[in-house]
Amino acid sequence: MQAARHVVCALSGGVDSAVAALLLRRRGYQVTGVFMKNWDALEEQGVCTADRDCEDAYRVCQVLDIPFHHVSYVKEYWNDVFSDFLSEYEKGRTPNPDIICNKHIKFRCFFDYALGNLGADAVATGHYARTSLEDEEVFQQKHVKRPAGLFRNRFEARNAVQLLQAADSLKDQTFFLSQVPQEALRRTLFPLGGLTKDFVKKIAAENGLHHVLQKKESMGVCFIGKRNFENFILQYLQPRPGRFISIEDGRVLGAHKGWFLFTLGQRANIGGLREPWYVAEKDGTKGDVLVAPRMDHPALYRDLLRTGRVHWIAEEPPAALVRDKMMECHFRFRHQMALVPCVLTLNQDGTVWVTAVKAVRALTLGQFAVFYSGGECLGSGKILRLGPSAYTLQRGRGPPRAATEGPAP
């Protein structure tokens, strides 16, 4: 008789990963739970909840009667995720550490540990996502070395595993998985991909997992927690005082501690002003933050962006994009925002121009433009350049369209 397949499941101490492990057990697999510690609580005067989460993950393993392992990726997280986070803010961009964490920590460090150290046949997480493989096909995957070139050899047989949206569209987390390498994806199971959150909670309640069911859903950046964002960032980056300036008439409205503290589209709390103003542009050379007086001001809307080199889940661009150099699809740059119809234009260096069918509010440098087509997540690229705002175009200060070729970002 064949030995039971060994699946190593990442456990966060929350309900989703706990139910993922439970479902894997029900399928008859040999399951091992692993808790990853990515942030050092000792530095944060006990604010971080990692120790409690670890205890909760351990209790899940006790309830399910599966082995528990605890690994620390504090150094790797600092080097690959947090250093990038600070560097992006210093450049005036707004990063997405969750996407970077999945790419480097969960689907590289944890993935290598599960297969190399624990002898896993596959890994699993509690993400709401699906792939194009059935379980048995995942177990049959062989280790495939990633091609070294910009794109895969065009004559090589293509049988890439697709990353597909979850059945629960409200909970779908493919956005956060859009930079995951193909090699890891083809050895990964997502047991919650076909379930709704309510059903997952019901399963937890019926199977003695009450301790994780009562926990609040973790939202926001894990290492910031409930702390004030500005205070947190200024522990690591030097203040760079500057001015708030009205984009309409150039009036100086107030002062701030650093242009990097602000994201396009957010409300700017300007001392002494009762009416709301919103961040429309940032001038890194002068340190000024340009603000607009309404939430729907045309200065907040753009329809053109350029990414860095795109990470395609299939390791190469879609065939239609390679053939025609242009392709219609959808994109989003925030989790849970409505998908935006767009046209991609492929550049020779692997970057893309994204032209939205209609102008989008608060396109943001540093965020990831994540591309979708027919329920499939195609991959993502970091937003590195923005076209002119609708306000700039209305006032005639810019061309009718930003030039589609320019200096590399």
Q: Indicate which residues carry an active-site annotation.
A: 101, 222
Give the integer Cα–Cα distance in Å for 166 and 126.
12
Query: What Rg do the C-alpha atoms of the chain give, in angstroms?
Result: 23
Give the integer Cα–Cα distance in Å for 17 and 204.
10
DSSP-assigned letter for residue 194 = T
Contact present, 265 and 383 (Cβ < 8 Å): no
Q: Among all chains, which residue has been given the structure tokens 């460090």?
A: 109
- Cα–Cα nearest to 149, from 297, 406, 350, 290: 350
Q: Give φ, ψ of 137 to 5 degrees.
A: -70, -35
Give the integer Cα–Cα distance in Å for 185 and 131.
8
Count of alpha carbons within 13 angstroms of residue 384, beta-carbon side? 15
Contact present, 386 and 359 (Cβ < 8 Å): no
Contact present, 398 and 362 (Cβ < 8 Å): no
